[in-house]
Amino acid sequence: MSVHIGNAENAPSFPRAARAALINTQLRTNVRNATNIIQAKRNNMTGELPDWEELREAGHAIKNHTLKYLDLYLEQFEANVTRAGGMVHWATDADEANQIIGNIIADCTGKEIIKVKTMTSNEIRLNDYLENSGITPHETDLADLIVQLGNEDPSHIVVPALHINRTQIRDIFQKKIPLHELGIDNLTDDPQQLAEAARLYLRHKFLTVDIGFSGANFAIADTGAVVVVESEGNGRMCLTLPDVLITLLGIEKIVPTFRDLEVFLQSLPRSATGERMNPYNSIWTGVTPADGPSEFHVILLDNGRTSVLANGEGREALNCIRCGACLNVCPVYHQTGGIAYGSVYQGPIGAIVTPQLQNLEHSRSLPYASSLCGACYDVCPVKINIPEILIFLRGEIIRDEQRTLLGKFQLENIAMQAMALVFSSSGLMTTAEALAKFAQGPLVHDGIINRLPGMLSGWTNSRDLAPMPRKSFRDWWLQREKDKGQ
Amino acid sequence: MSAESRAAILARIRRANGVADNPARVSQQQHEWSLLSRAYRARGNLDDAQRLKLFDERIRHYNGTPFYSTGNIQSDIANILTERGKQTLIVPAGLPSEWLPEDFDFVPDNNLSKQQLDAADGVVTECTLGIALTGTVVLESSPTQGRRAATLIPDYHLCILRKGDIVELVPEAIRRLESIKGRPLTFFSGPSATVDIEMTRVRGVHGPRTLDILLI
């Protein structure tokens, strides 16, 4: 088994990628505008529900319960899909999933597929795989279409083209869509016109392509149903019109019962796009005679999820319902946008999901791409304690590095070990404080330290440091006790 | 290949959870599910008039248009279609024929091709229920509501909803759908829309761009 999460294993470290993002002022403006709008809408929509916290609590409880019995729920889901005329396939990793999908398509006559937005297919790099096998995948979600035609990377799990503004979109459409053939002569950057161009461009595909492909928001164990929520209707087109439908879903997408939708159909749309309900939700079970595809395949994908499950303190990352609220609220994401994370899963949730899926072998800088402010936890509709998991992962990575000789003798590790020793001994602490007060003398200018020497300069590159006060808390406390005694 | 992978994935899950493949766990699973915290609202508190008013507001908010029946459904439908300038309309085979006014071309959906569906002006169907809080209408696959493609491809949808089938909250809707949960279900809240361009809501992408709801 070999886990691949998009191309995350080859992505540059977050600090390096972030530097490139930060000098792109256009990107920063686009990201800031979009996240501000979406966040304000989300706050309105969650604020109007008197039972919002109870919905979060219920979502959390249902998801944790599902993880505990995940094997049983998957078996129940499989049995119900099969009973309803669908076919269930299991894939341990990205390569196996791609092969299964490739084989299903090879048995069909068509050489094109129409796709609903699915991050999981980006995770397994399905489009690359299909193109190499002579199959043409058409993204039909507007944002995904923009990303695909513009040869861009998705930068947000809900609105992948969030970093691209209307003028840039017009330029991409002018280059890549045969506008003239569609009867469009003068495309402006008006969103209504751009959406109309996409409608006309895709209409023909919807009516002619025979294979549909989707991800899933939820898979219901007790009925075998799959749920896709969307806005544009492209999802309904792909799920309903082709003869063959293929759905790829991560094994963590399972929910126990149809009834559990009453929680997630409230918390997901309000968190994701700031709407009371998505314009469209499709729920279907296997195949239905004379309604929709006559052949239905589900691929259940592991690709590292079972390693996350084995991670006692990190496993709640699997509870994510991919709403993107934590991205929109994150001060780090606000500055860098999503591409700097080097993963199909960006932002705070991406920072705990991406490294864990890869068993902490790659994307090791991501748990540090956070100020640990906790805003992500506050907005999470299933109450994933992201900051806690980030800290846990930082610890895992450090412990991992300490296991190697090189890591053990790294300056930073030696310094941290020395600190740990000092902090654990009162006498050493007193001596260290006295030493530091003395040593900091030449560094203090106008009451602050704005440049530390050597490797410590990393800290002061972007912020000032307050000098050690003349009297430490411990001095003050001792004095106070002494005064009391008198 | 897939069978081996199935066994491998299930084994990895059981190892991660520290459990064995034990059939007795199923009753434990169901018991624990029934105890899950569900302190959110299960029932609304609006009366019939308030619920209808909220539904009306929310449908309009998402760019759908509610109409109120005068008691004669046939003439209601005629008036709406005339106002909208629609002539050729798809109807599911089971839609009551006494509802359909003369002077329009109603085409029963006897497995029409996608192109035939695309050529029509619109579609007229019943629906299962409405959710007031979210401005949502739910369709099921049935003789009076048709198959999914028929309410998707045409650019105009006139949907007939009984006022008594409007619930206030999402959990109330889910409870009512319990008995038909195996059928294909479509929830829609207004005509199709996108916010993919700078988070600006644009109406009408791929689904029907005009949605009318006749409340009877």
Q: Is residue B52 a part of any domain in this protein?
A: yes
B102 in any annotated domain: yes
CATH number at residue B71: 3.40.50.10420
In a shared domain, residues B26 and B53: no
Task: Tell me what the pLDDT averaged over chain A comes to.
Answer: 93
pLDDT at A116 over 90: yes
Is residue B40, in this structure, part of any structural domain at all?
Answer: no
User: CB contacts < 8 Å between A and B, how many?
Assistant: 260
CB atoms within 10 A of CB A149: 17
> CB-based contact (8 Å) between B104 and chain A?
no
Q: Examine the pLDDT at A367 and tell me if it is beyond 70.
A: yes
| DSSP label of A466 | P
Q: Do B95 and B6 reside in the same domain of the chain?
A: no
Residues B7 and B111 both lie in one domain:
no
* pLDDT class of A432 with cuts at 50, 70, 90: confident
State whether B76 and B29 are in the same domain: no
Is B10 domain-assigned? yes
Question: How large is the average pLDDT for residues A327-341?
Answer: 95
**B118 and B185 within one domain:** yes
- In this prediction, residue B159 carries a pLDDT of 97
Which 8-state DSSP code applies to residue B162?
-
Closest CA to A271 of A328, A351, A315: A328
pLDDT at B189 over 80: yes
Which pLDDT score is estimated for B64? 93
Give the mutation candidate from B195, B210, B211 for the A interface (greatest A CB count, under 10 A): B195
Chain B residue whose CA is closest to A283: B185
Is pLDDT at B1 greater than 60 in this prediction? no
Indicate whether this complex's ipTM tops 0.90.
yes
DSSP B146: B
- pLDDT at residue A320 is higher than 70: yes
Contact B206 A277 (CB under 8 A): no
How far does B72 lie from chain A, in Å, by closest CA? Answer: 30
> Cβ separation of A279 and B62 shorter than 8 Å?
yes
| Domain annotation covers residue B43 | no
B115 falls within a domain: yes
pLDDT at A434 over 90: no
Alpha carbon distances (Å) from A199 to A70, A188, A209, A273, B9: 40, 15, 15, 21, 40
In the predicted model, what is the mean pLDDT of residues B118-143? 97
Work out the pLDDT band at A325, boundaries 50, 70, 90.
very high
Same domain, B162 and B69: yes
- Average pLDDT on A196-201 reads 91
Domain check: are B104 and B129 in the same one? yes
Q: By CA distance, what is A194's nearest residue in B? A: B197
Confidence of residue B187 (pLDDT cuts 50, 70, 90): very high
Please name the residues between 134 and 163 in chain B that touch chain A, using a CB distance below 8 Å.
Answer: 134-136, 141, 147-149, 152-153
Between A148-162, B8-22, B112-126, the lowest mean confidence (pLDDT) is in: A148-162
| One domain for residues B71 and B138 | yes
pLDDT in tens, A455-464: 778 777 878 8
List the alpha helices (DSSP H) in A358-472: 375-379, 386-402, 405-408, 411-423, 426-439, 457-460
Selected residue with higher pLDDT from A430 and A56: A56
pLDDT over threshold 80, residue A408? no
Taking the C-alpha atoms of residue B83 and residue B189, their distance in angstroms, rounded to an integer, is 22
Domain with B116 in it: 48-215
User: What digits encode the pLDDT tens for the residues A369-404?
Assistant: 999 999 999 999 999 999 999 999 999 999 888 888
Does any domain span residue B41?
no
How many structural domains does chain B have?
A: 2
pTM, 2 dp: 0.93
Same domain, B24 and B110: no
On whether both B76 and B136 belong to a single domain, the answer is yes
Residues B115 and B137 in one domain: yes
B201 and B134 share one domain: yes
Residue B155 in domain: yes
